[in-house]
Amino acid sequence: MLVLSSLLAGLVFGLGLIVSGMADPAKVIGFLDLAGRWDPSLALVMGGAVGVGLVAFAVTRHRTVSLLGAPMKLPAARHVDRRLVLGSTLFGMGWGMAGFCPGPALVAMGMGEVKAAIFVAAMLAGMGVFELLEGRTTEAVRRHS
């Protein structure tokens, strides 16, 4: 049941990205172009997503398991640090340059977009570099403790 509900949630998410235009990099770049021909339509999509997220987090805050019985694993960190700011900056730069973020890139790649496939390959490479560096950092901390 968990796999089926995950598949259904992914399909709904992907369809939502297609219907909202988030899988179209031109629409996303139009939204990010504040000095040119700004397209505010994605602000409504993001506002809707934030609203749904606020309700979902408010409900899940008081639960220990999901509706399907899986344990709830909510983020515990609440502080803003250098890593968060740097990661957010890199994410925003990549989003602005490519017009994709991870979810829409996967949807667009599934629709046959070559630029999305290149973006996903670069994203996976970046994730791999992070894991290598994170592993080295963790190992160095262990050795010096």
Query: What pLDDT shows up at residue 25?
Result: 87
Q: Write the pLDDT tens digit of every residue in 111-133.
A: 999 999 999 999 999 899 989 98
Q: Output phi, psi for 61, to 5 deg.
A: -60, -30
CA-nearest of 95, 99, 111 to 14 is 111
Per-residue confidence band for 76, with pLDDT thresholds at 50, 70 and 90: confident
Higher pLDDT, 2 or 125: 125
Q: What domain count does the chain have?
A: 1
pLDDT at residue 144, as a whole number = 64
Residues, the chain: 145
Containing domain of residue 95, as a range? 2-143
Residue 137 pLDDT > 80, yes or no? no
Task: For the chain, give the longest Cα–Cα distance.
Answer: 54
Give the predicted TM-score (pTM) of the model.
0.73
Rounded Cα gap, residues 79 and 89, in angstroms: 16
